[in-house]
Structure 1
Amino acid sequence: MTMNDSKTSPDAFRIVIVGGGIAGLCAAIALRGPNREILILEQSSLLREVGAAISLQPNASKILENSWGLGDRIPSSKKVVDHGFRIYSIDGQLVKDIPLVKKREYGADRVIYHRQDLHSMLKAAATSSDLPGKPAELRLSSRVIDADCEAGIVFLSDGTSVSGDLVVGADGIHSKLRTAVLGKIQNAIPTGVSAYRLMMPIEKLQGSEFATKINPAEPFTSMMMGHDRRLVMGPCRGTEDYAIVALVPDKTLDVDTSKTTWNTEASLDEVEKAFDVFPRWVTSIFQHSPAIGLWQLRDLDPLERWHRGRVILIGDASHAMLPTQGQGASQSVEDAEALGAFFEDVGSRTGAEAVERRFADVVRCRYERACLIQEYSRNAAKPATAQGAEGRSKVTLTTTEFMDYNCTYNGAKDWQRAAGVQQEVGGS
């Protein structure tokens, strides 16, 4: 016996999600329910993630584990519960040790996943028959290029169109639906920093000089800073792989980083040259990464709006942020959870005005919080990044206070209770 209710009526609530990444799949999971049809449009022909580590902070882990019940879908041997941050000098001396184990206070752990594992799990959950509601349909090679927001219609590059009562723009940092919602183009902003992405087997590092200074199998995120460059490193897939993000100023590189994408490949010679100011005992481990990626870090200034008509933006489409706080994916999870909470009782075709009223509540719940975390992530990357837009609020919280602000969040329903928001009943 399964929990799935595959029956839908002609007046089913139709949901179209543009983008099959983490944000889009989370939205599909959160929005599953009785008498709903969910269609995910993904532009790639093969829905798969690159080899990289990704963290979910406690604020997202408790949604994944408690609200959605997905905590056991990735074996514990394939994930890492992060115990803290360790900051090292360029000669390998431990400078600062910041513990992160505060599950009692936060309600969940900071968990490190391999992106492929997390993405595969979310895809399986969104399309499975053992969760409430009808499984989402995933349609590949479906590139959305525009939308009629008021009518809830998205237009694809092959000349076809798809309509929905609710359209979720989860199409990432280069979002087409962002342009449709804003009525103008607002591109992501280069930060002056690019990142090399490496992944290597931990067994290859055992016995190396690197391992005598930084144990790659210990469940800690390690950072090494020097000469305006930094390495952020840690294990994933238990003690199987070691992930490194190597941050370097664009101006020091010989490549045009403005043309890089998440899938841009780089060579070993490139990354070794970029970090030739680091000691050889560090850079020698780069050779063990079978593939190296390079992408320019960009973020967004806060948008004027996140929704128009039947279309709402989530994730990087609405608030792309730098990885300095590890909150990018976690904020996408929060967005999806909020959509699920505010549309929980809708089970039939719904008028545009009712959809927009619920969107307004989603934005009230999410906008200030996401924009503050976005700004803090930008500030943490300075001096490499430019100043934010004029008139933006200044972050006054300390690092510890901000960690508490990030991680004590308990989701949209908790926000509803605190804000005294009355959920609209019915779908008219």
Structure 2
Amino acid sequence: MGEDDTIGFEALRQTLVYWNIDDYPIPTDDLDPVFGDILKALHVMGFRNGYIDVYLYSEQINCEAIVTNDFLGQGEYYCAFGYKVLDITLYMIRRATCIGPGPVNYFVIAKPKRELHRVLQCLKSRRHNVLLVKPPPPGEKFLFSVDSLLENARFLGGGKPRFKELYASHASEYDISFEKYVEIKEDVSKMVDFSERIPTVRGPRTAVFWDAVDCPFPPSSSPDAIYHSISSALAERCFSDNITVWAYLDDDADKKGSALLGGDKTWASRIYFLPGGDKASRRIRMLNDMFLWARDSPRGMRYEASLVLFADQFIGARGYYTDMLRRLDAMYYDLLFVTPTLHINNPESPQWPGLLIDRGASYFAFEEPPSPKMHEAHAAAEEETLNTHGNPLLETEDIKKSQSPELQAGLLIDGGRGCESSEKGTPKRIALSPLEPNTCYGRRTN
């Protein structure tokens, strides 16, 4: 299908508009006519819900400590909010995870960027509808009129949508809640890079996200040998031996690592080498992939899944990172940090990576470190929250908030505790509970 081919389309579900005001400044202070034209154009293209949530965002590289959000206004057919965030992509993933059942419609007004494009591809492969605006020629401004939007809006991958009435079953679209009944088989020859739904894993499991620049691997070891060392060390410390490892490399600078990225997967182990870019880019991608992992492989019981993060970038983080890591912790995953320090970060040591875990590991917590007794108390105090399809809700806090009048009006991306711009809302630093050496770290075993 060509980029300019017309596609018959009808969607009855919610449409979210993400507008990067750094790339495309708002043409007027009067929001009503601008958003009215967007809604009219979407209606012609087949998006027939009749209401839009608009997120005007600015990505500020220096806003790690503070994430701000403001209510900009509400009209008959829209709610608008303004955000200053380090990166918008994780909010998109989270929104796709907690809304439903069924896919989300995304209309993205932003210039192409590496991680944004990757995340939108990930959302598309998971059956969400992604609509983009074609950038204007250099030196020209984009006109946010109905005609301009109709001329320049394209589906990701090509095609101009135009309304065509479909059968009711098509218009209501695929119900994502049925994914739990669809098992994705593992193909050991395939690199699992989150570009599509990852293979199905049930029961106790351990997911490892490893910054291979912060924590280098033994230089002469094969991928299978690296995986065996990591999995053996974790299994010895009572983690589930159903282990998958994602390792992130600086593909712009690491020539040796690039050889692992470009070719076919020739090893049998569940270790996958992914391009991460520079330090800041790796941190953003790792967080995005953690939430894609949680979305694709939801836990069945509390704390049956452990998430182990090897990196030195998150300790002492505030604002954006603190809030997102807190959300993973609130989803009842065991979240373990392993921070490399100079005296233990030696991949050529015969004790690697056991020493790295024993002396660099800490559990994530905001109020108190997780413990078996605390977990039992949680289980006894409250029932497992289930959605209408029987799945544990991934975003319990968001769902509770959605009952409030403020969120019913459309505020569905919240800054979260620790992301306020006021002094009262200044976040606590990540509380880490150091672990005693030679102890059993994992809480669930096969």
- TM-score, normalising length: structure 2: 0.26
Q: Which has the larger share of strand?
A: 1
Structure with the greater alpha carbon radius of gyration: 2
TM-score (norm 1): 0.27
